[in-house]
Amino acid sequence: MIANLILLLTAALWGFAFVAQSKGSQSLDAFSYNAIRFALGALFVRGALYKGFRKPDPFVWQPGLVLFIAASLQQVGIYYTTAGAAGFITGLYVIFVPIIGLMRKQSISKTVLLAILLA
């Protein structure tokens, strides 16, 4: 029961994030908004992991940069559309990722196929 509530809370927070991003795009450009967002996230993670923090791999910033660029492009898209449309388009990754995997000759499980059909 508690796991279901946590999943529901996670989905709600994910959905409300699009509304916050939509409102934020009215005040700041996409890159400034995401720079603040990522800086606050980095401070939080740094604080949460302070005792166990060790020197990171020198290339660990590269996936973060890709994520920042992707989030900024999403933020630009949110500026030009509604939060609901942005959430719907973003949620299509559930369908597109397995399809891209199939195009790359990777097999998908029956569970993933069922998830694609339900999505």
d(Cα 21, Cα 9) in Å, to the nearest integer? 18
pLDDT of residue 9: 93
d(Cα 86, Cα 64) in Å, to the nearest integer? 21
Beta carbons of 86 and 74 less than 8 angstroms apart: yes
d(Cα 69, Cα 34) in Å, to the nearest integer? 9
Model confidence band, residue 112 (pLDDT cutoffs 50, 70, 90): confident
Model confidence band, residue 94 (pLDDT cutoffs 50, 70, 90): confident
Beta carbons of 111 and 46 less than 8 angstroms apart: no
Q: How confident is the model over 35-70, as pLDDT tens digits?
A: 898 899 888 887 777 776 677 777 878 888 898 898
pTM given for the model = 0.67
Domain regions of the chain by residue span: 2-80, 85-119
pLDDT of residue 118: 83
pLDDT of residue 53: 66
